[in-house]
Structure 1
Amino acid sequence: MTAFELWVDDGDHDRVATILPGQGYTAQGPLLHYAATVLRDAGWTIRTLVWDGECRGRSEAREVYGHVVRDGVTSLPGSRHLVVGKSLGTLAMPVAARMGVPGVWLTPLISEHGTLDVREATLGLGVHQVPALLVGGTADALWDTHVAKASGVRVLEVEGANHSMEVRGDWRRSLEVLDQVTAAVADLVAEVEARET
């Protein structure tokens, strides 16, 4: 198994967010950077997974991400938890949903080209009645509009956005999309904070 580190940015230990990057899309990528900034500005403790080398694929990522989510919840059981996963990071969705952990799922792997367990977990999000946000673009082959809308949770779908949530050939629109996504993350964080622990 490829080694990884968890970088912790201490904030309120009663509110803990776990940031799970994609493959080739680190926590410094704009979607994850600004999601973490929203949480940091709100005073949350941030746990960021950083791969020490190259993740070898979906099965390894599924195991690591599931472990990191479970470990975060069990080590701080009285805390409020939230997961922010980008692409491969959404492999943690089945574990998070079963544990009742809210999530921001950026470009989840929910199409026929994605993964069956994430697709099924997406369809079950509304059943778990846990706050969640699904973010995807119509130009992303791993996004499925029908699955997202059938989930019963918040969905932000952007016309023409690709797997990086950018609109090719239109940097101004890409910046607008980043602003939309960040605002949607802030709305979900506010919902999670308003709920009783």
Structure 2
Amino acid sequence: MLKTNTEIVKGYKEMNIPYTLLSVGENSKSLSIFLPGAGYTVRSPLFHYSNDIFLNKGFDVLQVNYQYNDKVYAEFSMEEICEAIKYDVRTVLDIVLQKTSYENFYIIGKSLGTIAMSSELSRDIFEEAKAVWLTPLIQRDDVFDAMVSSTNRGLCFIGDNDHCYIEERFIQLANNSKIIARLIPNVNHSLEYENNTVESIEVLKSVITDIKNF
């Protein structure tokens, strides 16, 4: 039976940061952490289906539901949003991990979420965590450097029609033997084709299958 626990913590500048912890069993030792994008939420397809996969494997799933598209963040610069997400994710994880005893971790970050992911993977507790990078912001040095030097087993998906895609940087991070890097031709920042719904669903199926098998 699915158990859902939703809480709100005070994050950066005392903003409310909701999070939800889902579990199907008692005292799971495995946790999957979802760090969505600014507009790509945990209800969006990649996270929706990943959620089912991990719950079916007996993982607890932690969804960090920051809302940086909300008007309260309207005056924040991009750099302040970046500081906020790192602070907010760290705050949520500290609270959750303080109450639990997980031993096995997956961290799945999409777009903006990969900024916090890059920071969190440096923590000792996540030394053996598996990392799933969905459309990482490789144009940013912090994300790119974290991926190039990462010692975590990783799985990366990005399209060459993504505004964040930089061929030279993708080649460098793909040379990291710890990361399986998937470049999907002609898909955008949502890992979708602009005008081909059926083919977009095929991409979704492929990505979810790879995550399931990772």
TM more than 0.5: yes
For residues 65 and 163 of structure 2, the distance between their equivalents in structure 1, rounded to whole angstroms, comes to 26
- Matched positions, count: 182
Of the structure 1 ranges 37-46 and 64-73, higher mean CA displacement relative to structure 2 is found in 64-73
Cα pair 1:156 1:181 within 8 Å, conserved: no
How large is the Cα RMSD of the aligned pairs? 2.0
Which AA in structure 2 matches 1:83? I
Q: How many Å apart are 1:162 and its aligned residue?
A: 0.5
Q: Deviations over 1:132-183 (max 9, x none)?
A: 1111101012123224313331112100010000011111110010001101
Residue of structure 1 in register with 2:145 after alignment:
120
Residue of structure 2 in register with 1:105 after alignment:
133
Which AA in structure 2 matches 1:122? M
Structure 2 residues without counterparts, runs of 5 or longer: 1-11
Residue of structure 2 in register with 1:141 after alignment:
163
Cα pair 1:17 1:39 within 8 Å, conserved: yes
Residue of structure 2 in register with 1:154 after alignment:
180
Residue of structure 1 in register with 2:110 after alignment:
86
> Who wins on radius of gyration, i.e. which is larger?
2
Which AA in structure 2 matches 1:110? I
For residues 77 and 157 of structure 1, the distance between their equivalents in structure 2, rounded to whole angstroms, comes to 36
Which AA in structure 1 matches 2:146? A
Q: Which runs of 4+ in 1 moved over 4 A?
A: 69-75
Whether 1:20 aligns to 2:48 is: no
With over 3 angstroms needed to count, the CA separation of the structure-2 counterparts of 1:173 and 1:107, relative to structure 1, is: same
Of the structure 1 ranges 145-154 and 34-43, higher mean CA displacement relative to structure 2 is found in 145-154
Q: Deviations over 1:68-95 (max 9, x none)?
A: 4455555534521111111111112323
Which AA in structure 1 matches 2:106? L
Cα pair 2:35 2:117 within 8 Å, conserved: no
For residues 47 and 171 of structure 2, the distance between their equivalents in structure 1, rounded to whole angstroms, comes to 25
With over 3 angstroms needed to count, the CA separation of the structure-2 counterparts of 1:90 and 1:151, relative to structure 1, is: same
With over 3 angstroms needed to count, the CA separation of the structure-2 counterparts of 1:180 and 1:10, relative to structure 1, is: same
Q: Is the helix fraction higher in 1 or 2?
A: 1
Structure 1 residues without counterparts, runs of 5 or longer: 189-197
Between the aligned residues of both structures, percent identity stands at 23
- What TM-score do the two structures reach when normalised by structure 1? 0.83
SS of equivalent residue, structure 1 residue 121? helix
Residue of structure 1 in register with 2:61 after alignment:
46
Residue of structure 2 in register with 1:194 after alignment:
none
Residue of structure 1 in register with 2:46 after alignment:
31
Cα pair 1:69 1:96 within 8 Å, conserved: no
For residues 150 and 97 of structure 1, the distance between their equivalents in structure 2, rounded to whole angstroms, comes to 19
- What TM-score do the two structures reach when normalised by structure 2? 0.77
For residues 25 and 42 of structure 1, the distance between their equivalents in structure 2, rounded to whole angstroms, comes to 24
Residue of structure 1 in register with 2:6 after alignment:
none
